[in-house]
């Protein structure tokens, strides 16, 4: 599975907001600058995160965005599912009718098990875990996500 930029950048946004959680709402321009994401794309991702109830917006002169949940309540599996949609490694896991060999496929169960293990791992890693495992509060350290 190759993750899209939506998932990678969405995760970076959440890390940015989590690292600055005690500073109030963070403006889009600051997130854009720190994470090197265009304002237009950032706003699209923030819209998705807001609809999912992960981020909230504050209006006014000191407005911006902040986490709607604690960083330890936001998990990588949730972010991947939000931005990727179809989350199985192969389509025939969720839609066996898409493949005429699904019923007799010798490898389908292995793909199902691999998908389960992947999400079990991702569902156990929170944004807080990522911040604490980094050992430093440096949003730029997230550039490779």
Q: What share of the chain is helix, strand, coil (3-state, %, to 5)?
A: 60, 10, 30
Q: How far apart are the C-alpha atoms of 32 and 37, rounded to whole Å? A: 5
Q: Which pLDDT value is given to residue 61?
A: 84
5-142 CATH:
1.10.10.10
> What are the domain boundaries of the chain?
5-142
Q: CB-based contacts of 80: which residues, under 8 Å, 6+ apart?
A: 3, 7, 87, 119, 122
- Interatomic CA distance for residues 51 and 47, integer angstroms: 6
The per-residue pLDDT string of the chain (145 residues; one tens digit each, 9 = 90 and over) reads 789 999 999 999 999 999 988 888 999 999 999 999 999 999 999 999 999 999 999 998 888 999 999 999 999 999 999 999 867 888 888 888 888 888 888 898 899 999 999 999 999 999 999 999 865 545 444 544 4
């Amino acid at each position: 599975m190759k993750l899209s930029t939506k998932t990678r950048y969405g995760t970076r946004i959440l890390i940015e907001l989590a690292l600055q959680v005690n500073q109030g709402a963070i403006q889009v321009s600051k997130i854009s600058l720190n994470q090197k994401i265009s304002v237009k794309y950032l706003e699209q991702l923030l819209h998705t995160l807001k609809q999912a109830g992960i981020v909230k917006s504050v209006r006014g002169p000191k407005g911006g965005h902040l986490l709607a949940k604690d960083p330890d309540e936001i998990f990588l599996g949730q972010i991947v599912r939000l931005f990727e949609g179809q989350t199985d490694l192969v389509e025939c896991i969720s839609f066996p009718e898409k493949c005429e060999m699904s019923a007799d496929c010798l490898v389908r169960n292995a793909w199902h098990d691999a998908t389960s293990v992947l999400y079990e791992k991702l569902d156990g890693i929170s944004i807080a875990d990522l911040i604490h495992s980094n050992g430093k509060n440096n949003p730029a350290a997230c550039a490779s996500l």
